[in-house]
Amino acid sequence: MIETPRDAGFRMPGEFEPHARTWMSWPCSTEVYAGHLPDAQAAHARVARAIARFEPVVMLAPPEVASGARDSLGTDNIEILEVPLNDSWLRDNGPSFLTGPDGLAAVDWGFNAWGWLNEDYGDDAKAARRVIAEAGARRYAGPLILEGGGIHVDGEGTLITTEQCLLNRNRNPHLDKADIETFLGEYLGIDTVIWLTEGVENDCTDGHVDGICCFAAPGVVLAGSGDLTNPDARRRTERNLEILKSSTDARGRPLKVIEVPENAEPATYPPGLQSSGHMSLTYINFYICNGAVIVPQYGDPNDTLAAEIIAAAFPDRETVQVDSRTVAFGGGNIHCITQQEPAL
């Protein structure tokens, strides 16, 4: 019988728990960013430098662009690790770190580029193994296709995900909901799974939960209020909020749900990108690091209001807004390009 992380006493901590460092990947895909790649690299550098004020950052970069990454990032609290890559979303192709009595472990999930959205993903599928080795963590091979942006945990046995993503036939067609819940329990230490329905509209990730909501603390969830001018977005948001407000966590607590607005002004992807049409600029896709919350900034009228609501949920952390609109051109945002390694 295979020993699982739960057997060995491991669990996945909440993102708000102390970190050893943050892992990121340097943008390198002209397929994703087209002519906006230099701007996307500049945006990633802004995010990395903001985090590096509070904790160390390790930036994975393909050898052929590592020199340019060093020039953009500088060296203060940011390390460059040369690793072959296809894309820059380490939240999704990176590992899920765990802590337990024996120290640090990590789950190396299967990765198929969001249901074969991209043809070339072989290097990305191997990146988690390299990260795990560099971190000195015990590696567990995950038994399903799973991207880190598809889950949020509270560190106390509760996980939130969406049916649109984890039950999608392009991920794990041989598994049903009960199978997936069993694997999440055994590999992340989860006792309760809260299933939302769909993610934001026009989402190339098939409904990642990190565009919808996240845990600010055990029992406390920040959730996007959605685009109230869009009937489809309103339907999705209302259903997900209804589920969250009627759910209890693994400790039996009703969830406290704090709503955060989305962008007030409509946004669309620029021509020539892999993604097209309506662009959801959610503020929920922020990243929690030691002593700070790194929040997207879009030049939108709701930038200040959203940051104020998020800051109120994290009174002991500094709220740092970073211009990340160009990151959104690739289909994600700040949370999607970061991966926390918990402190022991």
Q: Would you state the pLDDT for residue 231? A: 82
Model confidence band, residue 47 (pLDDT cutoffs 50, 70, 90) = very high
pLDDT tens per residue, range 227-275: 777 888 889 999 999 999 999 999 999 999 999 999 999 899 999 998 8
Q: Cβ distance 203 to 211 under 8 Å?
A: yes
- 175 pLDDT higher than 90: yes
The Cα–Cα gap between 88 and 167 comes to 24
Interval 15-20 mean pLDDT: 98
The per-residue pLDDT for range 292-329, each reduced to its tens digit, is 999 999 999 999 999 999 999 999 999 999 999 999 99
- CA 70/CA 240 separation, integer angstroms: 41
pLDDT band at 72 (very low <50, low <70, confident <90, very high): very high
- The predicted-structure confidence for 89-134, as pLDDT tens digits, reads as follows 999 999 999 999 999 999 999 999 999 999 999 999 999 999 999 9
Q: Which of 212, 218, 249 is nearest to 336 (CA)?
A: 212
- Check residue 226 and give its pLDDT: 78
Any catalytic annotation for residue 336? yes
The first and second tokens of residue 17, run together, are: 């728990």
Per-residue pLDDT band at 201 (split at 50, 70, 90)? confident
Residue 38: partners with Cβ closer than 8 Å, 6 or more residues away: none
Question: Which residue in 61, 10, 70, 14 sits closest to 337, CA to CA?
Answer: 61
- For residue 42, the model assigns a pLDDT of 97
∠ Cα 299 76 129 (to 5°): 90
Given a cut of 80, is residue 170 above it in pLDDT? yes
Which helix or strand (DSSP H or E) is residue 323 part of? strand 318-323
Question: What value does the mean pLDDT of the chain take?
Answer: 96
Residue 291 pLDDT > 90, yes or no?
Answer: yes
In this prediction, what percent of the chain has a pLDDT beyond 70?
100
Express each pLDDT in 321-343 by its tens digit: 999 999 999 999 999 999 999 99
19-342: CATH, from 3.20.20.120, 1.20.58.760, 3.75.10.10, 3.30.70.141: 3.75.10.10
Q: Tokens 């001018």 label which residue?
A: 229
pLDDT at position 242, please? Answer: 97
Q: How far is 130 from 60, CA to CA, in rounded Å?
A: 10
Selecting among 28, 165, 213, 336, the annotated active-site residue is 336
User: How many Å apart are CA 281 and CA 4, to the nearest integer?
Assistant: 38
Contact assessment for residue 43 and residue 338, using Cβ atoms and an 8 Å cutoff: no
Q: How confident is the model at residue 185 (pLDDT cuts 50, 70, 90)?
A: very high
Structure tokens at 258: 């704090």
What percent of the chain lies above the pLDDT cut of 90?
92
Any idea which of 49-63, 205-219, 262-276 has the lowest mean pLDDT?
Answer: 262-276
For residue 202, the tally of other CB atoms under 10 A from its CB is 17
